[in-house]
């Protein structure tokens, strides 16, 4: 028995469409499954808990939605040691990018899931919250805070609009960062604690990060001028920003960040710093190409 966990409103309704396509595929391949959904995150979480209580030895949970649904599912499935497959139907889909799956080959992805065993990957854990891709604080978290209050524009353009609003008034903050082998006391514009490579819909903030090494790639963006930031920012989509002298990347299993700032992980608000995070080897079973 599988669970098909669907967020119907993700990606401005894409979740419902893709969820129907996945259900049709499973039916056509005579795969036994149960649809789990809800009108809110609280409903979906409760319904997923009920499914697991009924089928504790289920084959896995196929999640259809975005990184918000991933975040919800991880908190339930990792402690239960149940495999998770993530089908892209959100705005960013960065966890699917992290795993290495294309965003436009649904049948190929599903055939692999139902025919191959899952493999273990690393996850991040911060204050009892699991995350798959990236925890971040600084300018991008401020942008997230703003974007979450905006009703227009929709989709990825909302993030760009929030950048335009927040950048003129943004000021770097002071951070105390404790890593495995060193401490940093520095002004910074952004700090990304990366298990995966990208966030924000394909921004390769830590292009060399891997989900199999038991380490985070910790990217620190030291202060640059607003004009320099706008020149460097487009390079993040190809990962070529890492050669800039203001960008520092250090690998570490454990990270503690002290500052007066807000942190996000997988696009979900974690809360105020200070915070600590650790990279947990083999925490999740999933499907990797």
Percent of the chain that is helix, strand, coil (3-state, to 5): 35, 30, 35
202-231 mean pLDDT = 94
Measure the CA–CA gap between 1 and 18, rounded to whole angstroms.
20
Measure the CA–CA gap between 233 and 288, rounded to whole angstroms.
30
Look at residue 155 in the predicted model and tell me its pLDDT. 66
The whole-model pTM stands at: 0.92
How remote is the C-alpha of 3 from its chain's centroid? Answer: 21
254-261 mean pLDDT = 96
Strand intervals (E) in the chain: 2-6, 33-36, 60-65, 84-88, 119-126, 129-131, 134-138, 173-178, 183-188, 190-194, 216-221, 247-252, 254-258, 262-265, 268-272, 275-286
Give residue-wise pLDDT tens across range 19-68: 999 999 999 999 999 999 998 999 999 999 999 999 999 999 999 999 88
Measure the N-to-C terminal CA separation of the chain; round to a whole number of Å: 23
Look at residue 156 in the predicted model and tell me its pLDDT. 66
Look at residue 149 in the predicted model and tell me its pLDDT. 82
Structural domains in the chain, CATH included, are 2-116 (3.40.50.10330), 131-282 (2.60.200.40)
Measure the CA–CA gap between 12 and 9, rounded to whole angstroms.
6
Contact criterion met (CB below 8 Å) for 121 and 69: no
List C-alpha distances in Å: 262 to 74, 95, 142, 159, 218.
Answer: 21, 21, 7, 17, 17
Contact criterion met (CB below 8 Å) for 173 and 260: yes
Q: At 105, list the tokens.
A: 């080959």
On average, the pLDDT of the chain sits at 93
Give residue-wise pLDDT tens across range 103-120: 999 999 999 999 999 999
Give residue-wise pLDDT tens across range 62-99: 999 998 899 999 999 999 999 999 999 988 899 999 89
Cα pseudo-dihedral 40, 93, 213, 262, rounded to 10 = -60
């Amino acid at each position: 028995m599988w669970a098909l966990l669907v967020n119907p409103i993700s990606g401005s309704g894409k979740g419902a469409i893709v969820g129907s396509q996945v259900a049709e595929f499973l039916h056509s391949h005579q795969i036994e499954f149960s649809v789990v959904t809800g009108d809110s995150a609280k409903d979906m979480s409760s319904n997923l808990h009920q499914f697991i209580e009924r089928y504790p030895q289920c084959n896995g949970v196929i999640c259809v939605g975005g990184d918000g649904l991933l975040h919800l599912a991880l908190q339930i499935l990792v402690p239960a040691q149940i495999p998770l497959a993530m089908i892209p139907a959100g705005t960013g889909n960065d966890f699917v990018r992290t795993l290495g799956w294309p965003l436009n080959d649904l049948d190929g992805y599903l055939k692999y899931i139902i025919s191959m065993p899952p493999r273990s990957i690393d996850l991040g854990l911060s204050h009892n919250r699991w995350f798959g891709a990236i925890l971040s604080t600084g300018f991008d978290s401020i942008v997230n805070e703003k974007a979450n209050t905006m009703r227009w524009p929709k989709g990825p353009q909302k993030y760009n609009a929030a950048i335009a609003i927040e950048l003129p008034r943004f000021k770097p903050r002071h951070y105390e960062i404790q890593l495995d082998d060193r401490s940093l006391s520095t002004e910074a514009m952004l700090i990304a604690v990366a298990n995966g490579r990208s966030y924000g819909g394909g921004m390769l903030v830590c292009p060399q990060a891997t989900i199999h090494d038991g380490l985070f790639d910790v990217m620190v963006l030291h202060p640059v001028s607003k004009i320099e930031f706008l020149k460097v920012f487009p390079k993040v989509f190809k990962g070529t920003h890492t050669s800039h002298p203001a960008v520092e990347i250090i690998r570490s299993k454990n990270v503690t960040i002290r500052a007066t700032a807000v942190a996000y992980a997988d696009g979900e608000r974690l809360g105020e710093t200070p915070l600590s995070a650790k990279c947990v080897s083999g925490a999740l079973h999933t499907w990797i190409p």
